[in-house]
Amino acid sequence: MELIKIFNSISINELYFVKSLLESEGIPAEVFDDTIGQIAPHYLFYQGGPRLMVRDVDQEHAQKIINQYLTDKNSPPISDADFNRGI
């Protein structure tokens, strides 16, 4: 099995959050280059930030989870009125 890059972010907090989402679904994930910003901050923007890697056999399932996270992240927040109505 080969490790492949599934996600990257210049936010280390977001990267570890996505890692926890994958692991909660039983997908092992590893973070690479998470300390590169301390050594060479300019490299973060060149490379796109630290990388989250998964096994190639987990790629499809992991991508679905990440896509759902990105969709939810970019959705507008629910209004108080809708929340109170249970929507």
pLDDT tens digits, one per residue of 1-14: 899 999 998 888 99
Higher pLDDT, 27 or 41: 27
15 — pLDDT class (breaks 50, 70, 90)? very high
Q: What is the pLDDT of residue 24?
A: 98
Walk me through the domains of the chain, giving residue ranges and CATH numbers: 3-73 (3.30.70)
Its pTM surpasses 0.75: yes
pLDDT tens sequence across 38-71: 677 666 666 667 899 999 999 999 999 999 999 9
- Residue 51: C-alpha distances to residues 2, 56, 64, 78 (Å): 15, 15, 17, 31
Q: Does the pLDDT of residue 30 top 80, yes or no?
A: yes
What average pLDDT does the structure give for the chain?
A: 86
